[in-house]
Structure 1
């Protein structure tokens, strides 16, 4: 099992992570727990990386034996990258309006194979009106977005987005380029491509300056990442799933468009797991993970674990509810 990994962030949160894990560490600025992370925070050497219980960095042990950890097909498609970043994210305050670059932009301007498409699995909410914000309601001109960013017009930015009430079990796919924000009181499991690239459009009151908000890029270049198209009801319906009422067996959680980027299921009770690199988060109950070799791994509410491909066919046993996060299948990479 993995220890908590909560690098300090600029926004408040962390109480829901502490409550899930059953500990007392609800640090005010620990709203993100990077689970089984081989990704560093932008511009940092080690911050964000997960350590295994023996103290080794997961990044280093994967790099030393990628086929055992990831499987031959995955390594053929993605090299020694896990192609996945998983977080627990507890929004103790509303996050700023921001977006993320796609693969093509990341390759051209940031020297990375991966951009940052992401998805949210809502696992808890608090407050009177838990909401997320996703995509512009109507088409917006690049000039209007540039002016909002120049003047830091928070009300115009937030008011232009689709405001979506959420409850536990809801999932949201967030394609790269989509302007978005997460409201206060929303607690999610977040799957992402393995980067820390954020274009923070609404930085005033959150970050110290525009340079840090835009990854050091020129403003005009950074704003090329923004999708200016309006998201109508049909498009929103294709990105959002409501799975809270599905409580049996295996529940696929994400929109179809997420498949080239990552996979996630909610598992209720015992389940067979095919060989794969995977990240397990236990939402409720207790049980064990059984592998072909070695002793069973005890699991309980709040536990997080990383499963290597070399574990082979594994089995969850017990009265527990888990989220299994996996990278894209090797055949789906772009």
Structure 2
């Protein structure tokens, strides 16, 4: 087997139905090929729903999915493989909303098992990187009041996007805010918000507001039919206190160990983890995706050094061993869930 070392990754931006990507271009220092590249799939062994787009290709020409299948313990670690098999149990994206995203929802693990043949649903979380004009961005999280099945179905049937969006909690976000999106929660992101999205490794989105976004609602229901797909939607009312627990501001990020802060609100750990790491942080062996947010420095391990500069993304295999962060740098380290028996 080839020796496993950290790998710096170029942008991987499959074409999408909504506009965006200029923010990714500014962050990475290279513009996207067109205005429909709003997502950069980083260290991805997951493909787009119904196709192969989205897979990371390594410098040797293999897809990451193929490389992991050839050496799962080396890439993921033996404990991870016992718990999760050959899946990294993680998908990381840069997401730059060039327009408002439609109201949509992702399935829970239970729904995905029953209807989509997957052990993973799509709980996700966002770390906000930038907002319009340096002010505040807007995201929309859950309904403010209970929405009955009949009303929800009517809004979907008539594609009443104004009613859907108007019934939701509007939340102001700034750079550094961390937001957890439990599976089933309706949500949308306003134009101009640029974020890192960490999620379960699927491309399952039920788009309940497709008019003006998806041609004729193509695959909006994940080919399940709306009688089934609508069961995925959490139509409960979510008050301000409940929504507030989904958002963690930068000053609220707790220190996990020297040079390391935990990112996501409580409830994310069974699905994925993330740490903000800086100079002196000691990193145990793990499959990880690194997003360099600010500054410059180095990742030093037993087999050498990898430069870290703002806008760079680095894929770290388990087999690369322990490492230490050096320099004036801030890095988001995205990790799978702990392999502790809580696997699906």
Q: TM-score, normalised by structure 2?
A: 0.93
User: Which residue among 291, 301, 305 is the counterpart of 2:310?
Assistant: 301
The answer to whether structure 1 residue 250 and structure 2 residue 260 are counterparts is yes
User: What is the CA distance between 1:245 and its match in structure 2?
Assistant: 7.7
Alpha carbons 1:118, 1:174 under 8 Å: kept: yes
Following the alignment from structure 1 to structure 2, what is the Cα–Cα distance between the partners of residues 129 and 184? 11
Which structure 2 residues correspond to residues 1-334 of structure 1 after superposition, within 5 A? 1-25=8-32, 27-44=34-51, 46-127=52-133, 129-243=136-250, 249-293=259-303, 295-331=304-340, 332-334=342-344
Alpha carbons 2:278, 2:330 under 8 Å: kept: yes
User: What is the CA distance between 1:233 and its match in structure 2?
Assistant: 2.1
Following the alignment from structure 1 to structure 2, what is the Cα–Cα distance between the partners of residues 60 and 26? 27
User: What is the CA distance between 1:244 and its match in structure 2?
Assistant: 5.6
Range with greater deviation from structure 2 (194-203 or 249-258): 249-258
Following the alignment from structure 2 to structure 1, what is the Cα–Cα distance between the partners of residues 33 and 313? 17
Find the residue that maps to 1:220 and give its secondary structure.
helix
User: What is the CA distance between 1:251 and its match in structure 2?
Assistant: 1.9
Following the alignment from structure 1 to structure 2, what is the Cα–Cα distance between the partners of residues 195 and 138? 29
Instruction: Provide the aligned length of Structure 1 versus Structure 2.
Output: 332
Partner of 2:3 in structure 1?
none
Following the alignment from structure 1 to structure 2, what is the Cα–Cα distance between the partners of residues 92 and 237? 26
User: What is the CA distance between 1:316 and its match in structure 2?
Assistant: 1.3
Unpaired stretches in structure 1, ≥5 consecutive residues: none
Runs of 4+ that moved beyond 2 A = 24-27, 244-249
What's the CA shift string for 1:201-254, capped at 9, x where partnerless?
000000012342111111110000000111112211221100168699322110
Following the alignment from structure 1 to structure 2, what is the Cα–Cα distance between the partners of residues 24 and 240? 31
Find the residue that maps to 2:111 and give its secondary structure.
helix
What's the CA shift string for 1:250-285, capped at 9, x where partnerless?
221101100100001112333111111100000111
User: What is the CA distance between 1:333 and its match in structure 2?
Assistant: 2.6
CA RMSD of superposed structures (Å): 1.5
Find the residue that maps to 1:108 and give its secondary structure.
helix
Following the alignment from structure 1 to structure 2, what is the Cα–Cα distance between the partners of residues 305 and 12? 26
Find the residue that maps to 1:330 and give its secondary structure.
coil
Alpha carbons 1:84, 1:191 under 8 Å: kept: yes
Unpaired stretches in structure 2, ≥5 consecutive residues: 1-7
What's the CA shift string for 1:163-183, capped at 9, x where partnerless?
000001111111110000011
User: What is the CA distance between 1:27 and its match in structure 2?
Assistant: 2.7
Range with greater deviation from structure 2 (221-230 or 123-132): 123-132
What's the CA shift string for 1:112-136, capped at 9, x where partnerless?
1111111011011114651000011
Alpha carbons 1:14, 1:26 under 8 Å: kept: no
Alpha carbons 1:132, 1:183 under 8 Å: kept: yes
